[in-house]
Structure 1
Amino acid sequence: MMPKHCFLGFLISVFLTGVAGTQPAHESLKPQRVQFQSRNFHNILQWKPGRSLTGNSSVYFVQYKIMFSCSMKSSHQKPSGCWQHTSCNFPGCRTWAKYGQRQWKNKEDCWGTQELFCDLTSETSDIQEPYYGRVRAASAGSYSEWSMTPRFTPWWETKIDPPVMNITQVNGSLLVILHAPNLPYRYQKEKNISIEDYYELVYRVFIINNSLEKEQKVYEGVHRMVEIEALIPHSSYCVVAEIYQPMLDRRSQRSEERCVEIP
């Protein structure tokens, strides 16, 4: 027969083991690193599986919400969605405020998805407003808590791709034509707009003399057509370009090199 003190120790061991084994499953299911990735206003919500999840054994549910940015402005006419906050210091002037938040909305295309991403481009198309996204996971009948993104404002955070270049030789010179990155298709359906409608863009063009292994910046400005002159005959050159955004002090990656032989 087992001594009383040994039996009591056995019960305590079983109890502790049971407690450890019944920790809430939702904590280990909770999606990790939930964040927006944005390029040229293509806004994709991405996440990693929870600590206990492997393979495709789980499904995910996505919601999003817009937060009003609510600036204060002086106007005689009440802006849409705003309320009168206070009066200005001179007669007839009013200051309006707009703030608050909307309810979480389900993203139907990503409701019960097995993917680790969700395209929220259409839902975040007002690029100067701040948004949040959140994701929860379900597996074997258990649900995680929601995991939320940091605040995301497309105008501030989208990354701009490098320009696309077309190069033509003209009488020993190179004519470089630059194209700004394409916007998502939904923008093109509304009207013929470019990313230049949202930012001041500065184009930088560099030329590399392959014989001398020397790089030189030959242009910086807002024009998208650049002529590169004074090239050495029978030489090989490569051209590369990037976009600079002065307001954000940010530049794109460089374009792919385009190389030519000067006759």
Structure 2
Amino acid sequence: MNISETIALVTGGASGLGEATVRNIIENGGKAAILDLAEENGKRLVEELGENVIYVKTNVTDEASVQNALNETVQKFGSYNAVVNCAGIGLAQKTVSRNKAHDLQDFVKVININLIGTFNVIRLAAEQMVVNEPNDQGERGVIINTASVAAFDGQIGQAAYSASKGGIVGMTLPIARDLAKSGIRVVTIAPGLFETPLFNTLSEEARVALGKQVPFPSRLGVPAEYGQLAQAIIENPMLNGETIRLDGAIRMQPK
């Protein structure tokens, strides 16, 4: 697939890694639908980026909401051939802290948005992608998910987050195998420490200190580098069923 021929659904596309992916697709001649709850940011991006992008307010955990977003994308662009799942939340809470157990509903919320929300988008989007006309290599589409190095190196307080991201890693290969006969590839990116809204509350000193933990380059990743990898996945037909760490060789310590 060529990036200029890509019509992508990007969940969490109104900020951070998702926004960078949308920008990269549009700048390279593709089209994108931003699926996000952040209405103000989503509309701002549409005004900035022009007619080849739309925004649809979307709750990834709700079937009707996702289906509506898919329908609006098809109505606008005729079809879509890529999905990039960036929607997600973080949570820091120990299994037991100050003699109090981890709140179960907080755990469920993280799993519901990060893992179940990702699968909800995959299953509904793939249902329509399987009827796409294949290109000359037999491809009908590509699905890119976002995990985290926390799937492998979960830190203290990351039980819920690591479980959600580990689930995304774990379902990558079986979904790729499920969709292989339809010519749809599935790949997951596991970012390390990136400059996303999660870090906006930190001081510059704290950000630099975090960046120094990365072997090379010794800095926080920038969202555009995620967008670059998403483009490489879209354009390379042999990338399938794999999770790629995008982390500067970092291996997270317990805390």
Same fold by TM-score greater than 0.5? no
Which structure has the bigger radius of gyration?
A: 1
The higher relative CO (CA closer than 8 Å, separation ≥ 6) is in 2
TM-score, with normalisation over the residues of structure 1? 0.23
Q: Per residue, is there more helix in 1 or in 2?
A: 2
